[in-house]
Amino acid sequence: MTLSPIRIISLVFVALALSACQLRPTTTGTFEHPNQIDRWAMSGKLGYRTANDGGSASFDWTQKPNRGQIRFSGPLGFGSADLRWDSGRAELITAKEQYQARSPGELAWHLTGFWLPVSALQYWARGLPWPGAHGEADYDEDGHLQTLQQLGWSLEFDRYQPVAGVTLPYRIKARQNGNRFTLLIKDWQPGAEK
């Protein structure tokens, strides 16, 4: 069977259109600075340790302006948990119970046994000091945040990777008194809508 030039061109366009559908970008644009990112999707692992306990969980975090959701799964004692918040209210839903509070940091205590400053973590995850409190920061020669003392936490940022026009940390280690957590980001999608 011989194909006419018009059919060949049509088949090429159909093939290109189908392949373009499979190459969807994971971000909705590029950014010049991490502080421009006001929405994202990320996934990874959270490990924590207190004087009496420790554990880890996988997480999927979706952030939009003024609201967010982190879904935890794994051996936290809950099986899975959803932490959701918007302006002035937050809720934590597990298989057994539901908690409500004014901030997500208060509710994170039920997961880890210590106050986890989720509002600050929204900045720390982007390699930025939280503007809501004084902090002492050290940067490398490229301007990437390396260490930060803020809210009583000592933080280290590393494994920076370029994504969506900016360079973002993929690991954050934090210590406060006898409490520690490590946020290991496996998939960073700045600007993504989930």
Confidence of residue 116 (pLDDT cuts 50, 70, 90): confident
* Sheet bearing 153-158, strands edge to edge: 98-101, 89-94, 79-86, 67-74, 54-64, 40-49, 179-190, 171-176, 153-158, 145-150, 135-139
pLDDT score of 91 more than 70: yes
d(CA 92, CA 114): 15
- For residue 105, the tally of other CB atoms under 10 A from its CB is 20
Share of the chain above pLDDT 90, in %: 58
Contact status, residue 100 vs residue 82, Cβ threshold 8 Å: no
Mean pLDDT to the nearest integer, 93-121? 84
Q: Chain-centre distance of CA 33, in angstroms?
A: 16
Mean pLDDT to the nearest integer, 115-144? 94
The domains found in the chain, sorted by start residue, are 31-190 (2.50.20.10)
Taking alpha carbons only, the member of 1, 2, 64, 24 closest to residue 191 is 64
pLDDT score of 86 more than 60: yes
* Region of poorest pLDDT, from 25-39, 123-137, 176-190: 25-39
* Chain segment 103-114, per-residue pLDDT in tens: 888 887 777 777
d(CA 92, CA 83): 5
pLDDT score of 19 more than 70: no
Q: Please give the pLDDT value at position 9.
A: 34
Count Cβ atoms within 10 A of the Cβ of residue 180 and give its class: 0-12 exposed, 13-18 middle, 19 or more buried: middle
Between residues 138 and 111, the one the model is more confident about: 138
* Region of poorest pLDDT, from 12-26, 72-86, 132-146: 12-26
Q: What is the DSSP string of 101-142?
A: ESSHHHHHHHHHSS---HHHHHHHTTT---TTS-EEEEE-TT
Mean pLDDT to the nearest integer, 93-122? 84
Contact status, residue 50 vs residue 113, Cβ threshold 8 Å: yes
Contact status, residue 178 vs residue 167, Cβ threshold 8 Å: no
End-to-end CA, the chain:
46
d(CA 145, CA 143): 6
* Chain segment 29-81, per-residue pLDDT in tens: 789 999 999 999 999 999 988 888 888 899 999 999 989 999 999 866 667 88
pTM (global) more than 0.75: yes
